[in-house]
Chains A and B, each alone.
Chain A
Amino acid sequence: MPVTVEIPEHVMEKRLEDTTVLLSVRTGFYYTLNATGGRMWELLREGRSPAEVVATVARESGEVPDRVEADLSKLVSDLETEGLVRLR
């Protein structure tokens, strides 16, 4: 897992009920996240580290931390591929 995940300025977001819609104003491509993905995104946006995100989401959802970590890892990898986050 990366130490920090940064969200670049060209990414906009809108949370609507359980869904979060992301837009890259650089490419015009848009993406949707489900409730769990949206919560992870929200915490990353707040500047939380991936480890803190895993702990928070596991506590809130009652999921096993290993499962949450795997989900976060996949999400961050996909977001990086699309240029929606930067990893450090």
Chain B
Amino acid sequence: MRPVSGATFPTRFECWAELLFAAVALRSPWRQRYLKAAPLRKRDALPEEGIRSTLQALDLAASYHLKPMTCLERSAAGQRILRRRGVPAELRLGVRHWGTGSLEAHAWIEINGKPLYGLALGFSALERRGHGSLAGIRLLSDCKMALPNDGSETDGDCVVLMGRPPDAGAEDWQPLPEPPSGGQAWVRKDGRSLALEEGPREGETLAALLRWAVPFASALQRRVILHASAVSRGGRAWAFLGESGAGKSTLAHAFSQRGWVSVADDLLPCRLDQNPGTAAREEEVVVLSAHGRLGLRAIFFLERTNASAAPRAERLAPAEGLRLLLHHGFGELGNEQMWRSQFEFYGVLVERVPTHRLEVPDDPNRISDVLTLLQEHLRP
């Protein structure tokens, strides 16, 4: 159903034209200038009803535009239109990383710190208390992202530029491989900046782009992210790795239903840290999560087997563990520095953390058999 608007024709045309300008400007070298808050026109601010009808006009214009308009384009255009009418609107970008691993990213408008919920733009997905971090990286947006202080662990900062970097051709920036979700992404060589350009598809493109790009930024910051799910209990964590569809998420979810805490569903940031609990403050491998630093006790590589076979866990030699970590690592970037840091970390990891091959029957009804088997291995 098409939205309706009580705004005048000139306002509707202004919205249409501003959206077009936003779509072009966000792909130009002047992108960052466009994203900055436009001057606030000194005049009596629109009443709430006027704001509502203006945003409805914007939504209407977006529905009849030349291309599907992303949330960023609509928010950036809306911010400028409202500020021209004396409304102190500000653009925000938010990221929410659920404990189960799903990620949402969204751009929206705030007025005097209050998000515009339930209006025609449909910006209801994000709340300010959402996490501004993903896989141990705190994401700072050039759209004034409001970072919550919720105690979640972060291990580094990364500024997320919306759109193509102005100096994309410079050596400093590396294009990432083509993201499966569409769009394009670039990372600066030091891993401190990402640039994301959404594709034409509506929906979760921005979130998917972030999830794709953050492991590369993290690796370039010499931090390692395992493509793993993980559960914790008693300040310790256990990780599950495997091919897509091997059952990583299913297993973590099953543990969470038995009272364990699911700390990662897809991306698990790790690093070496001193253990304050030992006299010599020995280094241990820790995972970073919203539940704090957790000592990593074991890694399981999941393999699907015949549905009728019994689940089986087998301790691996360290070299085999290292080989499997390399196999499941994020090697798509083909970056030497990234490979070096991953290899060094993996080498230490398999010396300190036991690795196992876990054969999982290809039958979801037998997940309880797997949990029973693992109870022996997962003792804090």
Contacts and interface: CB of A to CB of B under 8 A. Distances in A.
A16 B350 contact: yes
A16 B348 CA distance: 10
Contacts of A17: 317-319
14 contacts: A12-B340, A12-B343, A14-B347, A16-B350, A21-B319, A21-B322, A21-B323, A23-B326, A25-B336, A25-B339, A25-B343, A28-B331, A28-B339, A30-B323
B319 A16 contact: yes
Interface in B332-351: 334, 336, 339-340, 343-344, 347, 350-351
B341 to A, nearest CB: 10
Main secondary structure of the interface of B (DSSP, over half): helix
Given A21-B319, A21-B323, A23-B339, A16 B347 contact: yes
Nearest to B351: A16
Interface residues of B, number: 16
A23 B343 contact: yes
Contacts of B340: 12, 25
A26 B343 contact: no
Contacts of A25: 336, 339-340, 343
Interface of A: 10, 12, 14, 16-17, 19-21, 23, 25-26, 28, 30, 32
A30 B336 contact: no
Contacts of B326: 21, 23, 30
Nearest to A23: B343
Contacts of B334: 28
Contacts, number: 42
A26 B326 CA distance: 14
Contacts of A10: 336
A30 to B, nearest CB: 5
Contact of B317 (A19, A20, A23, A30): A19
B319 A32 contact: yes
Contacts of A21: 319, 322-323, 326, 347
Interface of B: 317-319, 322-323, 326, 331, 334, 336, 339-340, 343-344, 347, 350-351
Nearest to A12: B343
A26 B339 CA distance: 8
Nearest to B339: A25
Contacts of B350: 16
Nearest to B331: A28
Given A16-B317, A23-B339, A32 B331 contact: no
A20 B343 CA distance: 13
B302 to A, nearest CB: 20
A14 B321 CA distance: 12
Contacts of A20: 319
Nearest to B350: A16
A42 B326 CA distance: 22
A14 B336 contact: no
A77 B20 CA distance: 61
Contacts of A26: 336
A74 to B, nearest CB: 21
A19 B319 contact: yes
B318 to A, nearest CB: 4
A26 B336 CA distance: 6
A16 B318 contact: yes
Contacts of A28: 331, 334, 339
Nearest to B341: A25
A17 B347 CA distance: 12
Nearest to A20: B319
Contacts of A14: 322, 343, 347
